[in-house]
Amino acid sequence: MPQPHILKITEIFPSIQGEGLRQGENTLFIRLSGCNLKCSFCDTKYAWQEGKKYPTAQVLEEIKTLKRRFPARWVCLTGGEPLVQDVSELVKGLKEEGFKVQVETNATFYRPLPVDWYSISPKPDKYNYRPEYREKAREVKIILTKNLDFELIRQLRKEFPERTPLLLQPQSNRKWSVELGLKLLRQALTAEQKNIKISIQLHKIFSLR
Does residue 139 interact with ligand SF4 by CB under 6 A? no
| Beta bridge mates, 78 | 31
Does residue 38 interact with ligand SF4 by CB under 6 A? yes
Per DSSP, the three-state class of 68 is: helix
Does residue 9 interact with ligand SF4 by CB under 6 A? no
Q: At what angle do helices 150-159 and 175-190 cross, to 10 degrees?
A: 60
- Spell out, one character per residue from 51 to 90, where the chain touches ligand SF4: x when CB under 6 A holds, - when not: ----------------------------xxx---------
Cα separation values, 120 from 64, 98, 101, 137, 207, Å: 26, 23, 14, 6, 23
Does residue 141 interact with ligand SF4 by CB under 6 A? no
Between residues 121 and 164, which has the closer beta carbon with respect to ligand SF4?
121
Does residue 123 interact with ligand SF4 by CB under 6 A? yes
Determine the Cα–Cα distance for residues 111 and 78; give it in Å rounded to an integer.
15
Does residue 18 interact with ligand SF4 by CB under 6 A? no
The least CB distance from residue 96 to ligand SF4, in Å, is: 28
- 89 within 8 A of 101, measured Cβ to Cβ: no
Residues that bind ligand SF4 (CB under 6 A): 35, 37-39, 42, 44, 79-81, 106, 123
